[in-house]
């Protein structure tokens, strides 16, 4: 009897080992079919990070890490990326190539008229113009930011507020006069002075004040991931500081281009803004 159990166990363990490359290196996507503006977690089964030469998404290099014991990568899908099929490709050091097509779906378009608060000039053509010009200047600075080549975060990301209630979602267009701007973040209900927490470990890249973004913080979590916290009333950290997940980095407020107190959160992957609520769903 003992001999039989030993042989059965041996078979169970031994059979899958011989078929590693062709059938068991499944590439998985969360979500399976992302929309424009959503992040994707890409994982590949039964392979070691050291066996991979490069991985690409639509020809762009993916930054790889190990999460839940699997080789993984995060990709951001630009909100204006054309819907359709895109190739995810892993090239192994032994020359093998493992590929799968990612289907990007179209996001439904939504538009809302947005007014300019009195403190920024109200709804005049002149203040619309200065809003657009100054936003472009602030974005030019933030678009130049780059992240650490090593991973700084660990485990799951957490929400920046203890009680995250969405008041304004990611991805719709705000129409102000003749201009249309996309809301590239999520707004959360937060009365002035609510504690804002770092969503994960990282380094403070920006702790600054802008006309539109108000007092704002950007944290670099490494490997292309950054989180942005805007319209704060107080900043408790300085540029270059190391922060840990959950640390209070500032207090929410209503500084900059806002009509009411709230916390605006943006998440970027390789400088592409993605839906923060969908980003949170990636970390199971």
Residues at the contact surface with Zn ion, assessed by CB under 5 A = 185, 187, 264
CB of residue 260 to Zn ion, shortest distance in Å: 11
CB of residue 184 to Zn ion, shortest distance in Å: 8
Give how far Cα 60 sits from Cα of 30, 41, 89, 93, 136, Å.
19, 15, 10, 18, 26
Nearest to 262 by CA among 208, 214, 206, 204: 214
Cα(87)–Cα(57) distance, integer angstroms: 6
- Take residue 51 and report the two structure tokens written for it: 């066996």
The helix or strand, by DSSP H or E, that contains position 214, with its residue range, turns out to be strand 214-222
Q: Which is nearer to Zn ion, 214 or 222 (CB)?
A: 214
Q: Which is nearer to Zn ion, 104 or 230 (CB)?
A: 230
Geometric angle at alpha carbon 162, from 239 and 42, rounded to 5°: 70
Q: Which is nearer to Zn ion, 65 or 179 (CB)?
A: 179
Cα(212)–Cα(255) distance, integer angstroms: 8
CB of residue 272 to Zn ion, shortest distance in Å: 17
Q: Which is nearer to Zn ion, 151 or 230 (CB)?
A: 230
State which residue has the least CB distance to Zn ion: 264
Q: Which is nearer to Zn ion, 171 or 185 (CB)?
A: 185
CB of residue 187 to Zn ion, shortest distance in Å: 4
Nearest to 190 by CA among 82, 117, 262: 262
CB of residue 262 to Zn ion, shortest distance in Å: 7
């Amino acid at each position: 009897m003992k001999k039989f159990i030993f042989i059965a166990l041996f078979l169970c363990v031994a059979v899958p080992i011989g078929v590693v490359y062709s059938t068991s290196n499944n590439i998985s996507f969360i979500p399976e079919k992302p929309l424009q503006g959503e992040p994707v977690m890409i994982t590949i089964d039964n392979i070691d990070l050291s066996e991979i030469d490069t991985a690409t998404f639509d020809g762009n290099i993916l930054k790889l890490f190990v999460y839940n014991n699997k080789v993984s990568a995060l990709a951001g899908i630009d909100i204006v990326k054309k819907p359709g099929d895109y190739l995810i490709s892993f090239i192994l050091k032994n020359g093998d190539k493992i590929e799968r097509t990612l289907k990007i779906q179209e996001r439904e378009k939504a538009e809302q008229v947005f007014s300019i608060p009195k403190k920024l000039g109200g709804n005049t053509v002149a203040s619309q113009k200065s809003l657009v010009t100054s936003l472009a200047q602030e974005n030019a600075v933030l678009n130049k930011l780059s992240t650490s080549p090593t991973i700084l975060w660990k485990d799951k990301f957490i929400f920046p507020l203890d009680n995250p209630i969405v008041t304004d979602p990611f991805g719709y267009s705000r129409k102000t006069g003749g201009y249309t701007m996309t809301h590239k973040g999520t707004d959360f209900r937060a009365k002035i002075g609510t504690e804002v927490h770092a969503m994960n470990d990282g380094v403070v890249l920006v702790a600054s004040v802008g006309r539109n973004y108000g007092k704002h913080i950007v944290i670099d979590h490494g490997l292309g991931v950054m989180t942005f916290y805007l319209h704060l009333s107080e900043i408790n950290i300085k540029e270059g500081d190391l922060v840990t997940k959950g640390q209070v980095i500032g207090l929410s407020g209503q500084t900059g281009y806002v009509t009411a107190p709230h916390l605006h959160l943006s998440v970027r992957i390789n400088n592409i803004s993605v839906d923060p609520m969908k980003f949170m769903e990636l970390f199971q």
